[in-house]
Amino acid sequence: MAEAPNFHSEMRRVLRARVIDTARRLVCDEGWGAVNMSRVAKEVGVSRPVLYKEIGTKQDLADAVIAGELDTFLVGVTEAIATRPGDLLAGITAAAEYTLRTAADNTLLKAILAGRSSADTTLLPALMTEPEPVLGRASAAVTVVLCAQYDLGAFTDDEIGTRVEAVVRLVLSHLFQPAGAVDRAVAQVALVAGCIFTREPRSGD
């Protein structure tokens, strides 16, 4: 009997993953306009009440799809930073390059951005303008990784958070509104990061 709650939790986790995978596939194949809770429930093999209980509203489903995709990106970002253990600027640059090059081939992102010229723009606000789930989660995760990887003792926690958010905002702007080659975007991120993460010596030091 003691294992029952664990089994139930695992089943809920599997169900949630199947729902998110199904919604992601529909978005990639047909756009977010083709996604509705009845269709997702039918394809997953559960009732609508069960789907609403486990996921919430359609907007909750949108947030879950985006958050799942972001988590995948953040794994790669963490690995990219880890390849530059002794150089903060190199780590940030590697993370930016990984993000922008991977995003260029990401089918979900392509599907969402392709819909911005039509009425099918439901996912865009959550992706591009709302603090969550992208900007806030990405900034928090990158902050944790950078603090674990590098000595940032010259900065306060607030200063680190502000600087990381600035870099993340810049990377996201290149991701959502590319204006040239990835190499140019990465160079711009490196330039900005190099400036804001340099602590000028105080007078008398």
Could you read off the pLDDT of 113-158 as tens digits, one per residue? 765 545 455 565 556 555 566 888 899 999 999 999 999 999 999 9
Backbone angles phi, psi at 116, to 5 degrees: -75, -15
Contact of 132 with 138, CB cutoff 8 Å = no
Whole-angstrom distance, CA of residue 205 vs CA of residue 201: 6
pTM over 0.95: no
Q: Dig out the tokens for 197 from the structure.
A: 């993460």
Integer Cα distance of 74 and 138 in angstroms: 7
Phi-psi region of 57 (alpha: psi -120 to 50; beta: other; left: phi over 0): beta
- CA 119-125-129 angle, to 5 degrees, is 145
Q: What is the pLDDT of residues 18-34, one digit of tens each?
A: 999 999 999 888 888 88
Confidence of residue 41 (pLDDT cuts 50, 70, 90): very high
